[in-house]
Amino acid sequence: MTTTELPDDFYAAVPVCQGRTAAMDYLRRPGPVYQAGKTWIITSYDGVRYAQKNPDLFSSAKAFDGLSAAIPMIPLAIDPPKHADYRRVLDPMFGPKRIDAMEGELRAQLRGHIDAFAPLGHCDVVADLSYKFPTQAILTLFGLPLEHLPQFLVWVTGIIKGADITALGLEPTPQVIDCSMALFGFLQEQIEIKRRQPGQDMLSSILALDGDQAWTDAEILGLCFLIVLAGLDTVTGAIGFSLLTLATDPQLRQRLVADPALIGPFVEEMLRLEGPVPGVPRRTTADVEVEGVTIPADSPVLLMVSTANREVPSAAANPDEMDLTAKPAHLGFGGGIHRCLGSHLARRELRLTIEEFHARIPDYRLAGEATTLWPAGTFALESLPLQFDPR
């Protein structure tokens, strides 16, 4: 098949219901670089790495022009050199030390959810756990009171369901605008409160910056908004696929229950093989040749980290299979200057979820269909019904 024959709906038609390997094979079949509709798709590891390492040719700011005009999505929609200024300030605020300090609270939140359904003998992981917990984690990171969780979830769901951050050239819908305005109003209020009563949290740290380093309220709101978009349904999806894999592979589950040190390598392999992010958007700033194919200037491009992950050097002998000893440097969190700012938090959320789930419910099985929503900005499950002995 030549690239010009690919239909406009090629990407929307990815057969996710046939499993992730079939979906990845489908996306890789037309080649390492091809055009589907208006969008150029880079599927190979080398091609994706090249684009990540050349942000001057593959602009993130231009990819988010529509959304970021109203809201400066910091630092995702910022190109060099300004991007580095933001990351220099933000990286320590999302580093392992900050996440260590949150661990006790995160575990308590998880136990609260798991204790609520453990006596019932069944749960829907999505509704009962993987949807609420990442939002609590973000409130904790921001240092915002958890009593706001229900209202926060309503706004966040409105924004995430209405906006697809990987959609190219997307204009915000009225629902996204309404929920965003409500969320902005709330965050603005909380920023004022934090100014008066600072804590040991991310928002307080940013508000404490002064002089040349000080951020405007618009910048702070833009960062908070991006974190809501980038840090919630990604973790929801990753928890869902992790527990689905463990529910349907009793041997693997028993290995992890017997040796919790394997949970870390398992999480990495899940991010490589079943990560929640299919691809990330860019726009070319000039004609650029990738893998022998010329992508014209000003073209929308998707860097498919999910397919590239099937070609990561040093992955298992069969890169489509899980190998808890391989430790390949996967691209599930992206790479280059825009590598995920929340990777430490995300990894911790995933590890703690499995540890706490197994501590209370070590044996569980799938109790219905686990459907993947598609097309969507992330790979995520609609529901994940599980059964187990009441505990």
Stretch that binds ligand HEM, among 26-34, 206-214, 319-327, 340-348 (CB under 6 A): 340-348
Q: Count CB-CB contacts under 10 A for residue 121.
A: 15
- Interaction between residue 352 and ligand HEM (CB under 6 A): no
Q: Between 131 and 388, name the residue whose CB sits nearer to ligand HEM.
A: 131
- DSSP symbols for 234-292: HHHHHHHHHHHHHHT-HHHHHHHHH-GGGHHHHHHHHHHHH-S---EEEEESS-EEETT
Bridge partners (DSSP) of residue 34 are 41
Tell me the backbone φ, ψ of residue 259, rounded to 5 degrees: -135, 85
Q: Looking at beta carbons only, is 183 or 341 nearer to ligand HEM?
A: 341
| Beta carbon nearer to ligand HEM, 163 or 388 | 163
> Which of 341, 376, 384, 386 is the binder for ligand HEM (CB under 6 A)?
341
Q: Closest separation between CB of residue 237 and ligand HEM, Å?
A: 7
Q: Tell me the site size for ligand HEM, rule CB under 6 A.
A: 26
The rounded radius of gyration (Å) of the Cα atoms in the chain is 21
Nearest to 131 by CA among 387, 341, 381, 363: 381
Site string for ligand HEM, 271-300 (x = CB under 6 A): x---xxx--x--------------------
Identified binder of ligand HEM from the candidate list 62, 87, 98, 111, rule CB under 6 A: 87
Residue nearest to ligand HEM (CB): 342
| Token pair belonging to 291 | 């893998």
Binding residue for ligand HEM, selected from 71, 191, 230, 324, defined by CB under 6 A: 230
CB of 27 within 8 A of CB of 41? yes
Contacts with ligand HEM in 28-67 (CB under 6 A)? 60
Fill in the amino acid letter for 357. F
The 242-271 contact track toward ligand HEM, x by CB under 6 A, reads -----------------------------x
Residue 330, burial from CB neighbour count under 10 angstroms (0-12, 13-18, 19+): buried
Q: Given the rule CB under 6 A, which of 33-41, 148-156, 222-230, 353-361 is the region that contacts ligand HEM?
A: 222-230
Do residues 237 and 353 lie in contact, with contact meaning Cβ atoms separated by under 8 Å?
A: no
Return the number of the residue (275 or 300) whose C-beta is nearest ligand HEM. 275
Q: What is each CA distance from 330 to 31, 40, 379, in whole angstroms?
A: 20, 22, 17
Question: What is the DSSP track for 314-332?
Answer: T--SSTTS--TT------T
Q: Is 213 helix (H, G, I), strand (E, B) or coil?
A: helix
Q: What is the contact mask toward ligand HEM in residues 181 to 220, using x (rule: CB under 6 A)?
A: ----------------------------------------
Q: Which residue in 24, 191, 221, 340 binds ligand HEM (CB under 6 A)? A: 340
User: Binder to ligand HEM among 57, 176, 206, 238 (CB under 6 A)?
Assistant: 238
CB-hemisphere CA count at 13 Å for 36?
Answer: 23
- Binding residues for ligand HEM, rule: CB under 6 A, are 60, 75-76, 87, 226-227, 230-231, 234-235, 238, 271, 275-277, 280, 305, 332-334, 338, 340-342, 345-346
